[in-house]
Amino acid sequence: MGRDSSHMVKKVIINKTYCKECGYCRKFCPDKALRYSKAFNDRGYHPVKWKGDCSFCGICYTVCPEAAIQVKENEEALER
């Protein structure tokens, strides 16, 4: 379970259905901020989960073949 990220300016959003457990994001993430879930998605893969904090460098987005990871503004935090 990740930390409560509702106060952060940005957040990492992962589309669990699209993830195919290829491992690239985990391999290249400089902050080790991603790990596999225990649960399966519809395709039978363990999708990655974001631990809740990182440098928002965007490398995970860059290497993902599914465009399943996005790094964008956290609207919740901005609204405060």
Partner 1 sequence: MNFQRPESLKDSCNHYCPGCGHGIIHRIMAESIDELNIREKVIAIAPVGCAVFGYFYWNFDTAEAAHGRPPAVATGIKRVMPDRVVITYQGDGDLAAIGGNEILHAANRGENITVFFVNNACYGMTGGQMAPTTLLNQITTTTPKGRTLEDGWPVKICELLSPLEGTCYAERVTIHTPKNILKTKKAVKKALENQLKKKGFSIVEILSMCPTGWKVPAEESIDLIEKKMTEYFPPGVYKDV
Burial class (CB in 10 A: 0-12, 13-18, 19+), 9: exposed
Q: For residues 21 and 44, give the distance between their C-alpha atoms in angstroms, rounded to a whole number.
A: 10
Does the footprint of partner 1 cover residue 63 (CB under 8 A)? yes
Residue 1 or 75 with smaller CB distance to partner 1:
75
Does the footprint of partner 1 cover residue 67 (CB under 8 A)? yes
Stretch that binds partner 1, among 1-9, 32-40, 46-54, 57-65 (CB under 8 A): 57-65
Please identify which residue in 52, 53, 58, 74 interacts with partner 1, judged by CB under 8 A.
Answer: 58
Q: For residues 11 and 33, give the distance between their C-alpha atoms in angstroms, rounded to a whole number.
A: 12
Comparing C-alpha atoms, which of 58, 68, 76, 54 is closest to residue 19?
A: 68
Does the footprint of partner 1 cover residue 8 (CB under 8 A)? no
Convert residues 36-55 into a mask of x (bound to partner 1 by CB under 8 A) and - (unbound). Answer: -------x-x----------
